[in-house]
Amino acid sequence: MLIRLGYDIQFDLPSTTPMVALLSVHPSRERDLLEPDEVEVSPAVPITSYLDSFGNRCTRFVAPPGRLRLTNSTLIYDSGEPDPINWAARVCEVGDLPDNVLTYLLNSRYCEVDRFSNIAFELFGDSPNGWARVKAICDWVHQKVKFSYEHARPTKTALDVFTERIGVCRDFQHLAITFCRSLNIPARYATGYLGDIGVPASGPMDFSAWFEVYLEDRWWTFDARHNVSRIGRVLMATGRDASDVAITTSFAEANLCHFSVVTDEASQASVAEPPAAPAGLTRP
């Protein structure tokens, strides 16, 4: 299947503002792109791109005062298959984990692992270790936490979510991640596109959050907010928690004044036909 991805994000900037944006499709999905995936900045300014320490593609620029607009529209191929499920996937012993996975067992800005060890063991210690334990965590968070945009705040941690039992998609994932890490299951935060493909429409589109767990020898997708396998998930970035994968980071005041996201299933007709080859030439 084909998915049309895009966004239109606008800010009012009182002064010159250095910015970093994590708005590109993750390098692991670049081979599926059928059109360029470039951040368009208006007014035009010099742009550089780099990979951060987590392997996410970042866009860096300095914007002048006034209205700033970030836009993009691209097309990506997706298998159309739901998130894979593997009930046989086992937890790795900590001593056998790859070096670069160990960080996803530790405390981070929004995930206070050291505060949850006893809580996690009391709630999930009797669950079979492996996929079933992670699913039990997702079930609990999905059932106990209420979704509400009105209760979003940038300082809310996993402990706040556990106490208040309300939040937005990132809060569901932070709590589930913290439970997993407290039980020595590596877990990392993920963000990207997740359109209403194969499910009833749920309101205006936004970027979405989910999390990934390291079982056996690979990362697997879980989603404590929706708690079902979904179609058309397109990864943009991963990190320890939301602090590592902010969509935009500004190093001066930046007032958001417009935000829209597109994630729609597209038809084959959405792929532009290549121009005809000049006479006497053949395409490779």
The percent of residues above 90 in pLDDT, for the chain, comes to 88
Sheet of 208-215, strand order: 218-222, 208-215, 187-194, 233-239
Gap between the Cα atoms of 107 and 114, Å rounded: 7
The first and second tokens of residue 13, run together, are: 């900037």
pLDDT band at residue 6 under the 50/70/90 scheme? very high
Whether the pLDDT of residue 66 is over 90: the answer is yes
Tens digit of each residue's pLDDT (9 = 90 or more) over 256-277? 999 999 999 997 654 554 334 3
Query: Considering the entire predicted model, what is its pTM?
Result: 0.91
Distance (Å, rounded) from C-alpha 194 to C-alpha 37? 17
Residue 284 reports pLDDT greater than 50: no
Q: Give the E-state strand segments of 29-112 in sequence order.
A: 40-42, 47-51, 57-63, 66-77
Would the pLDDT of 72 be above 70? Answer: yes
Residue 174 — very low, low, confident or very high, per pLDDT cuts 50/70/90? very high
Beta bridge partners of 50: 58
Say what the pLDDT of residue 279 is: 38
| Residue 113 confidence (pLDDT) above 50 | yes
Question: DSSP per residue over 247-276, as a string?
Answer: SEEESS--EEEEEEEEEEEE-GGGSPPPPP
Supply the pLDDT for residue 273. 44
As a whole number, the mean pLDDT across the chain is 93
Domains and CATH numbers, the chain: 2-79+246-267 (2.60.40.2250), 94-244 (3.10.620.30)
pLDDT of residue 271: 55
> What does the alpha-carbon distance between residue 205 and residue 218 come to, in Å, rounded to a whole number?
29
Rounded to 5 degrees, what are φ and ψ at 215? -125, 145
Beta-sheet strands, E only, within the chain = 2-13, 17-21, 40-42, 47-51, 57-63, 66-77, 146-147, 166-167, 187-194, 208-215, 218-222, 233-239, 248-250, 255-266
Model confidence band, residue 108 (pLDDT cutoffs 50, 70, 90): very high
Per-residue pLDDT, averaged over 202-215, amounts to 90
For residue 151, pLDDT beyond 60: yes
Q: What is the mean pLDDT of residues 58-87?
A: 97
Backbone angles phi, psi at 15, to 5 degrees: -150, 175
pLDDT of res. 278: 37
8-49 per-position pLDDT tens digit: 999 999 999 999 999 999 999 999 999 999 999 999 999 999
CA distances from 62 to 9, 51, 67, 250, 254 (A): 16, 18, 13, 9, 12
Tell me the residue ranges of DSSP E strands in 78-143.
Answer: none
Question: 31 burial class (0-12, 13-18, 19+ CB within 10 angstroms)?
Answer: exposed
Among 213, 207, 49, 55, CA closest to 134: 213
Lowest-pLDDT range, 90-104, 122-136, 238-252, 254-268? 254-268
Top-confidence residue, 277 or 159:
159
